[in-house]
Amino acid sequence: MMPKDPAILLSYVNTKLRDEFPSLSELCAALDADEAALREALAALNYEYDAGRNQFV
């Protein structure tokens, strides 16, 4: 289950991307998460996914 709080979600997702998953799409597939909804939730905090860095920045 993904955290609901956007700030905690950011930390959780970036940690998972750093330690376990080579891309956002693979993370979302493994966790059965909606990638568009995840991007939207973090965009509300002014974070966007950077594929080259494999993290939200």
pTM of the model: 0.93
d(CA 15, CA 19): 6
Torsion angle of the four alpha carbons 55, 46, 10, 27, in this order, in degrees rounded to the nearest 10: -50
pLDDT above 90 covers a percentage of the chain that reads 98
pLDDT of residue 1: 83
Residue % of the chain over a pLDDT of 70: 100
Who's near 26: CB < 8 A, 6+ residues apart?
Answer: none
Mean pLDDT of the chain: 97
pLDDT number for residue 13: 98
**What is the tens place of the pLDDT at every residue in 15-40?**
999 999 999 999 999 999 999 999 99
**How many CA atoms lie within 13 Å of 40's alpha carbon, on the beta-carbon side?**
5
Strands (E), 2-56: 49-50, 55-56
